[in-house]
Structure 1
Amino acid sequence: MSTISQDPSKPESATAVADPDIDTGRLEGASRARIFAILAVIVLFTEVAPMQYTIVAAALQKIAPTFPGVGADINWAIIVFGLIGAAASPLIGKMSDVWGKKRMFLVCGVLFMIGCVLDAVTSNWALFLIGRGLQATAIATAVIAYGLIRDLMPRRYVPLGLGITATGLGLSAIAGPLLGGFLVDSYSWRAIFWCMAGFTLLMLPAVWLVVPESKLRVPERIDIVGAVLLSAGAGLTLIYLDKGRDWGWGRPTTVAWLIGGVALLVLFVVVETQVPRPIMDMKLLFHPRVALVLAAALFASLQIGVQSYAIAYMAQSPDEANIAGKVQQGSLAQIQAQTGQPMPPEAVQVTLDPGYSYGNGYTLLEFAVQIALLQAVVAMICGALAGALARRIGARIPLIMALAIFVATGACYALLPHTGLLHDRVTDSITRPDWPVGS
């Protein structure tokens, strides 16, 4: 075995990975059946994070009534997952290099399962968010999975393994919406967390028994300070963006959240340039070639995230009686403002239904079949095509094509009508006074 080069300009982890003679436990002589069994278990285990995206985002309107005092802050059920996951992923990735990838793989699974159980049983908003934060560690399983595949898979299978890990086996994209819709419609929103906890409980022994541990270890100190600065700075900034409209964008007490968040993020960059083993190598990140690639990847990731969440939000509409009642209440308020005369209560004969449905009256399962399933299938097909094109002509052109399609899709969402029958019926309630409300 060759000695690891002690080039001070390169981190030890990067040098170790680059050395082809380092023993990482690569399964060069293993059978194809064993290799694909290991790959399947790794990929299935990583699907818990995207599965919750496809299920929880669409089920938010069913979750919200359990926390009546939360209001628009129900979106923090999604925000806290992404925030903690983004901050924890580089830290957990470092831990996996130091303490073992399989070990941290299992730790993330246990924390995810605990978070799911906590959310399945609690009716306290703070505890619910703590559960979502524990579930967010599952985002790091993708980072660990890439490392496991790089260390364990025979070299000829590494590109295939990474591609399959990126696209998944279809469990989260196809089965996730259908399963979530069935569970919520047939039982309650708590059933989706019980289901994800049960899936993780089944996968933990499979990972323990099937996936070997990587032999690669990198003796490094964990940059806890950098992780705290990154998560705190991003959290304060997101609080300002989320609550700025309610609190007043320009109020000093509101702007203080933004100033504090930006200050912590700047301090994070300063600290990362000084510590010997940073979570993120700032010199590498700020290199023009790397920065441009990361900016494109960040933009693409934001588009994918917005696409995933926006479809579910756009399809969620108040029931017709609810909308019509609010429309007539709005008209009554306009009359009072114009005449200056209070209107008697008997002038309003509207029965409000606080319920919500999905587009065109869909249930959650019908939404999954009619909308989410098609989106998932198209995404998987395009992902496979993009991978094939990238091997032939490089990744730049497929990336540009994908971004162009996203831009065109966004323009269609913004400019074309998509409210359907519900929009027409509410419009009739405004333009036709004789149209019975809620009929």
Structure 2
Amino acid sequence: MTTNADSRLRQLGILAVLVLLTETAPLELSLVYPAAHSLAQSFGSAGADAVTGAVSLAAVVCIPLLGRIADVVGKKRVLLWSGAVFAVGSLLCATAGSLPLLLLGRVLQGAVGGALAVAYAVVRDTFPRHRVPVALGVVSSGIGISGIVAPFLGGALVDRYGYRGVFWFLFALSVCVLPLAAAALPRDGRRDATKAPPGRRLDIPGALLLGLAAAALVWGVGTGVRSGWAAPAVLWALLVVLLLTVGFWRRERDRPDPAIDLALLADPAVRGTLIAAVLTTTGTSTVAYLLPQLLQTPRQAGLGYAFGLGALAAAGWTFTLGLGALAGGPAGGLLARRRGPRRTALTAQALIAIGALGFAALPGQRGLVLLVSLVFGLGAGLAYVGFANLITEAVPDERAATGTALIAVANQLGAAAGASALASVRTLHPVGPDGTLFAGTGYRLAFALAAGVALLALLTTYRMRHGRTPATGGAAARRTDSSTAVSVDSATTKEKI
């Protein structure tokens, strides 16, 4: 007989494993960001930006498929297989001898991008409803753990082994975590993708159309920043985005098995949440990507902000960012349960905007880094759990993994747009012939734009009618879905009468 204590202990074990397993995605970003300077020395600034953004763009393709597969064949299987593909990608990145092979490895690493979305669905399936908001906060707080540990770990690895050391560590971590996940996660039900109804098949072409459209958009924006918006390459990129988007919409609108359920996107609660999430993550990823590069810029005449720090020393000035994110996860869960997830998201966006504006004043003011990083990190931690609860409240149980996959797509799009496109603003102010050093004006402009994007996200969330009541762990969505079904049944009955 299972006691309440045994049940709580089992839930804590599942929660711990989910944090470890899903930590690979944010940890991958947190480790690679400190390695950006080393990557730029080997492949140039454009190559480093591409290496950083490639994993997010690949995740855009994988996440809808992973959410769909998880709903069909089981969440545990998806978590384990995505972790295995991530391990293979990490090994390829660690041994790659050229930029194309490194980019291929990063694409394979993108397979783990949907792990957090599937983990949210596992929490929703496993935990009592009243514990779901806080449990989501704990899972999200893994982002904070990576923010604290990763800068120091990444700095030590980069200083000693270069960027390859980061990927060797990620490979070793995956090999250690996967057996723990196989032992601790709840078993999947006896479902088989081959026995699933026709409406549950995978739409791989649809996911590819979406991912290619996202990649073309991010590349086009980055090129527009560097070369001007009238450049032929930008116009061609925008044309490709338009054609791919139209193709995606025409394919998905009438399919019983879409990669992205357009019916969910028609819901204002889901649509508003996704737009706000994309904008918020664009702001956070821009700052997280550029800050280590700013601190690691070697001292040079005319660069008043150039502190000349090593990767490990730079981590000592930014660890409060991870500390704030770690606190923001559980605090955001409690705030969502008591005051509603919309309030959590608004607080997060305000803190992110304040932090980004603070970073815009950093060149030459290193003493402010610790304080501004704490404010910014708290906002980032609150944002992740706020949007996780917003999407959980908006979708019914049977679409849990698919719905949370949407928020993961939004986060990855924002990450790619911030690191690959918005961060490119700094390249408008180069210093020196090699194209790896930039004036403080470029960093200020990029940070200010990140703050502006966060404020735009705040306005979007402020207009949102969804999420104003305390979070229910998905029970509200379930009640809404049930009431809709009752209304339909009543209408059908009246019609028959």
| Aligned with residue 109 of structure 2, among 135, 157, 163 | 135
TM-score, normalization by structure 1: 0.75
Instruction: Give the aligned partner of residue 64 of structure 2.
Output: 90
Counterpart residue identity of residue 259, structure 1: L
CA distance in structure 2 between the partners assigned to 1:258 and 1:164 by the alignment: 40
Instruction: Give the aligned partner of residue 230 of structure 2.
Output: 250
| Alpha carbons 1:28, 1:154 under 8 Å: kept | no
Instruction: Give the aligned partner of residue 282 of structure 1.
Output: 262
CA distance in structure 2 between the partners assigned to 1:166 and 1:42 by the alignment: 10
CA distance in structure 2 between the partners assigned to 1:46 and 1:359 by the alignment: 35
- The offset of 1:409, in angstroms, is 2.6
| Aligned with residue 140 of structure 2, among 166, 170, 175 | 166
1:48 and 2:24 matched: yes
CA distance in structure 1 between the partners assigned to 2:328 and 2:225 by the alignment: 38
Counterpart residue identity of residue 150, structure 2: G
1:231 and 2:211 matched: yes
Q: 1:285 to 1:291 in 2, by over 3 A?
A: same
Mapping of 1:11-410 within 5 angstroms? 30-67=6-43, 70-168=44-142, 170-215=144-189, 217=191, 219=197, 220-244=200-224, 249-320=229-300, 323=301, 360-371=307-318, 373-410=319-356
CA distance in structure 2 between the partners assigned to 1:27 and 1:156 by the alignment: 19
| Alpha carbons 1:28, 1:153 under 8 Å: kept | no
CA distance in structure 1 between the partners assigned to 2:286 and 2:335 by the alignment: 25
| Alpha carbons 2:296, 2:309 under 8 Å: kept | no
- The offset of 1:387, in angstroms, is 2.2
CA displacement, residues 371-414 of structure 1 (integer Å, 9 cap, x when unaligned): 2x111102222333332222222122232222222222333333
- The offset of 1:291, in angstroms, is 2.3
Counterpart residue identity of residue 7, structure 2: S
- The offset of 1:282, in angstroms, is 1.8
| Alpha carbons 1:84, 1:136 under 8 Å: kept | yes
Counterpart residue identity of residue 317, structure 2: Q
- The offset of 1:370, in angstroms, is 1.7
- The offset of 1:88, in angstroms, is 1.2
- The offset of 1:78, in angstroms, is 1.2
CA RMSD of aligned residues (A): 2.7
CA displacement, residues 198-219 of structure 1 (integer Å, 9 cap, x when unaligned): 1110011111122122327464
SS in structure 1 of the partner of residue 317 of structure 2: helix
Counterpart residue identity of residue 55, structure 1: L
- The offset of 1:245, in angstroms, is 5.0
Counterpart residue identity of residue 313, structure 2: E
CA displacement, residues 136-184 of structure 1 (integer Å, 9 cap, x when unaligned): 1111111111222222334454333222112227531211111111122
CA distance in structure 1 between the partners assigned to 2:272 and 2:39 by the alignment: 39
Instruction: Give the aligned partner of residue 364 of structure 2.
Output: 419
- The offset of 1:38, in angstroms, is 1.9
Higher RCO (CA-CA < 8 Å; seq separation 6+): 2
Q: Which runs of 4+ in 1 moved over 6 A?
A: 26-29
- The offset of 1:221, in angstroms, is 0.8
Counterpart residue identity of residue 249, structure 2: V
| Alpha carbons 1:359, 1:367 under 8 Å: kept | no
- The offset of 1:125, in angstroms, is 0.4
Percent of counterpart pairs with the same letter? 32
CA distance in structure 2 between the partners assigned to 1:245 and 1:299 by the alignment: 18
| Alpha carbons 1:223, 1:277 under 8 Å: kept | yes
Q: 1:401 to 1:211 in 2, by over 3 A?
A: closer
CA displacement, residues 336-380 of structure 1 (integer Å, 9 cap, x when unaligned): xxxxxxxxxxxxxxxxxxxxxx95222111111222x11110222
Q: 1:314 to 1:71 in 2, by over 3 A?
A: closer
Greater C-alpha radius of gyration = 1
Gaps of 5+ in 2: 367-497
CA distance in structure 2 between the partners assigned to 1:252 and 1:160 by the alignment: 49
Q: 1:390 to 1:190 in 2, by over 3 A?
A: same
Q: Relative to total residues, which structure has the larger helix share, 1 or 2?
A: 2
| Alpha carbons 1:152, 1:214 under 8 Å: kept | no
Gaps of 5+ in 1: 1-25, 328-357, 422-439
CA distance in structure 2 between the partners assigned to 1:195 and 1:417 by the alignment: 31
| Alpha carbons 1:285, 1:291 under 8 Å: kept | yes
| Alpha carbons 2:295, 2:308 under 8 Å: kept | no
- The offset of 1:247, in angstroms, is 5.4
| Alpha carbons 1:116, 1:193 under 8 Å: kept | yes
- The offset of 1:248, in angstroms, is 5.2
| Alpha carbons 1:27, 1:153 under 8 Å: kept | no
SS in structure 2 of the partner of residue 360 of structure 1: coil
